[in-house]
């Protein structure tokens, strides 16, 4: 499945819009990551464990969004966006959403 943050796909024409496809995941921090992050904040630099956790969360949200697009009968997703929000103390949601479409060669 083609997924893009643009409104169109080069060489393809959108033939129908199937709706909005959404995928999300909620992740929490753990005590080990919190202790490591607290120590790292004393000297500065990247919080690698959090970066890794967010990379995994984005991949999971994308996968779930793609699954929903397939259920809608789409063969592509356009206008991809990500959003994050805090849902509880220490827990955040990563949301991926895009317009599910069908396409044909132009």
The full set of domain ranges for the chain reads 2-28+57-105
Span 2-28+57-105 CATH architecture:
2-Layer Sandwich (3.30)
**Phi and psi of 61, rounded to 5°?**
-65, -40
Q: What is the pLDDT of residue 68?
A: 98
| Confidence label for 65 from pLDDT (cuts 50, 70 and 90) | very high
Q: Which residues contact 60 (CB under 8 A, 6 or more apart)?
A: 23, 25, 94
Mean per-residue pLDDT over the chain, rounded = 88
* Predicted confidence (pLDDT) at residue 76 exceeds the cutoff of 70: yes
d(CA 28, CA 57): 11
d(CA 41, CA 58): 24
Nearest of 79, 100, 95, 105 to residue 4 by alpha carbon: 79
* Predicted confidence (pLDDT) at residue 79 exceeds the cutoff of 70: yes
Mean pLDDT across 12-38? 82
């Amino acid at each position: 499945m083609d997924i893009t943050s643009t409104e169109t796909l080069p060489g393809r024409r959108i033939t129908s819009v199937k709706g909005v496809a959404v995928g999300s995941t909620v992740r929490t921090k753990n005590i080990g990551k919190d202790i490591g992050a607290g120590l790292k904040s004393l000297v500065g630099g990247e919080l690698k464990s959090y970066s890794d956790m967010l990379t995994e969360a984005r991949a999971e949200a994308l996968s779930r969004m793609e699954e929903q697009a397939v259920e809608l009968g789409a063969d592509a997703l356009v206008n991809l966006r990500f959003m994050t929000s805090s849902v509880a103390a220490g827990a955040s949601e990563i949301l991926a959403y895009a317009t599910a479409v069908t396409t044909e060669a132009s």
